[in-house]
Amino acid sequence: MTSHLIRHVRVTPIAFRDPPLLNAAGIHEPWALRSIIEIETDSGLIGINESYGDLPMLEALAKAAPALTGLSPWALNDMETRIAALVTPTQTASEFLGTQVSLAPGTHVSKTVAKVISAFEVAMMDLQGQLANAPVVDLLGGAARPAVPFSAYLFFKYAEHIEKPYAPDPWGEGIKPEQMVAQARRMIGEYGFKSIKLKAGTLLPEQEAATILALAKAFPGAPLRIDPNGNWTVPTSLKVVEQLRGVLEYYEDPAPGLDGMAEVARQCEVPLATNMVVTDLKEFRRNVEMGCPVRIVLSDHHYWGGLRATQRLATLCQTFGLGLSMHSNSHLGISLTAMTHLAASVPLLSYACDTHYPWQDDEVVQGGRLQFDDGSLRVPQTPGLGVTLDRDALARLHDNYLNTTIRNRDDLGQMRKYDPAFTGHQPRF
């Protein structure tokens, strides 16, 4: 009988073009980083995954990878124990973060174990699916829905990066409400999304609120969300939500910290959602102890510890009567496919998920860009994740990585190139 034990783990850092998207921390750099993980068995099977590509993550993956040698692809619990023993950080979160605003929990050092486990778990489940001749969604208990809806994720943006590293993206400037309506029309036209999310916390709150009102007028009935990433004070949060009365599906991270969110929740009827203040079980417990000011948890398997850990999060949300949706960061198709398998397997996850996918124009999987149908992605039915690596694309994206000096995401530093006085301290408004 052929044995299928893990022989080798390969991690390839990649970089791909990312537009000048504005957020509370600053602005996106011209290149977004990811890592592509390949786990190979001694029988020659290869399981793949995509995760964060910043330097601390690459170091953690490199440190953890040898621990997988000799493991069965089915031994997820054993893998988790070995990883936790190897990569539990000694650095405290505040030492790592300094004064910089972290919008992406994925860059947080306290998430290292969860991130590395997730990075390997998905690739091991891809292997399991190949061995069992079953799609990952079936390993997760089967599909609760055949296709997963995503939302149109709008960003205020400049027309071009300050360094002009390549030709401007086709989206143009997105600052004025009418430009944002045009951005939404284009994105919805191309992908068919039904819900709209606006990344906020970057222009004056009145201008951002006016944008939501313009979107509500242009897309009557479309579920709308606004996410200033905790960059508004409690009074500003309350003022904006009053201006948007009757318009929002949920209100994402208006004010900083769980205490700030709780203060907003006390005086506002719209349910609060977060990917900033409930990002692990400790924070989940605190939210419950405070009477659940946050009503919707925006999950993300990349930092919640993997697909199965996110399913456990769903059970917890159900227990406490909370809703569940899905957060994203700049990513390519392997992440998107894993998100789709997971979201399909969780009955509770009934909101349209976030995705940055329309902002990227590259791909690392064979067949190129994934195709949305009416704003949704069908759950792959082929074994494992159902996507395979395009080796030429991987080599090209790795070359991009070698040719850029970016090694850690730094939206604040990038914004200082435009405005040297920008501090990024929050809440700004």
- Contact footprint for ligand GKR (CB under 6 A): 21, 23, 103-104, 199, 227, 229, 275, 327-330, 354
Instruction: Please report, in angstroms and rounded to a whole number, the separation of the first and last CA atoms in the chain.
Output: 65
Between residues 155 and 284, which has the closer beta carbon with respect to ligand GKR?
Answer: 155
Cβ-contact 202, 156 below 8 angstroms: yes
Q: What are phi and psi of 77, to 5 degrees?
A: -65, -40
Q: Is 161 left (phi over 0), alpha (psi -120 to 50) or beta?
A: beta
Q: What are phi and psi of 136, to 5 degrees?
A: -55, -35
The answer to whether 231 contacts Mg ion (rule: CB under 5 A) is no
Between residues 328 and 345, which has the closer beta carbon with respect to ligand GKR?
Answer: 328
The answer to whether 275 contacts Mg ion (rule: CB under 5 A) is yes
Between residues 130 and 299, which has the closer beta carbon with respect to ligand GKR?
Answer: 299
Between residues 227 and 263, which has the closer beta carbon with respect to ligand GKR?
Answer: 227
CA 223/CA 233 separation, integer angstroms: 24
The answer to whether 426 contacts Mg ion (rule: CB under 5 A) is no
Q: Which is the catalytic residue, given 4, 157, 197, 199? A: 199
CB of 229 to ligand GKR, least distance (A): 5
Q: Which is the catalytic residue, given 327, 331, 341, 356? A: 327
Cα within 13 Å of Cα(179), Cβ side: 14
Those residues whose C-beta lies under 8 Å from the C-beta of residue 392, and which sit 6 or more positions away, are: none
Of Mg ion, ligand GKR, none, which one does residue 104 interact with (CB within 5 to 8 Å by kind)? ligand GKR
CB of 234 to ligand GKR, least distance (A): 19
Between residues 233 and 328, which has the closer beta carbon with respect to ligand GKR?
Answer: 328
Of Mg ion, ligand GKR, none, which one does residue 279 interact with (CB within 5 to 8 Å by kind)? none
Q: Looking only at residues 314 through 343 of this chain, which bind Mg ion when binding is defined by CB under 5 A?
A: none
Those residues whose C-beta lies under 8 Å from the C-beta of residue 245, and which sit 6 or more positions away, are: none
Cβ-contact 226, 215 below 8 angstroms: no
The answer to whether 51 contacts Mg ion (rule: CB under 5 A) is no
Of Mg ion, ligand GKR, none, which one does residue 128 interact with (CB within 5 to 8 Å by kind)? none
| Closest C-alpha to 200, from 424, 422, 23, 427 | 23
Helices (H), 290-353: 301-304, 307-319, 333-345
CB of 368 to ligand GKR, least distance (A): 23
CB of 406 to ligand GKR, least distance (A): 15
Of Mg ion, ligand GKR, none, which one does residue 299 interact with (CB within 5 to 8 Å by kind)? none
Binding segment (CB under 5 A) for Mg ion, from list 51-59, 142-150, 225-233, 302-310: 225-233
Q: Is 386 left (phi over 0), alpha (psi -120 to 50) or beta?
A: left
Between residues 20 and 333, which has the closer beta carbon with respect to ligand GKR?
Answer: 20
Active site residue 327: yes
Contacts of 209-212 with CB under 8 Å at 24 or more apart are 209/240, 209/243, 209/244, 210/177, 211/156, 211/177, 211/180, 212/244, 212/247, 212/248
The answer to whether 227 contacts Mg ion (rule: CB under 5 A) is yes
List, by residue number, the catalytic residues.
199, 327
Q: Which residues bind Mg ion (CB under 5 A)?
A: 227, 252, 275
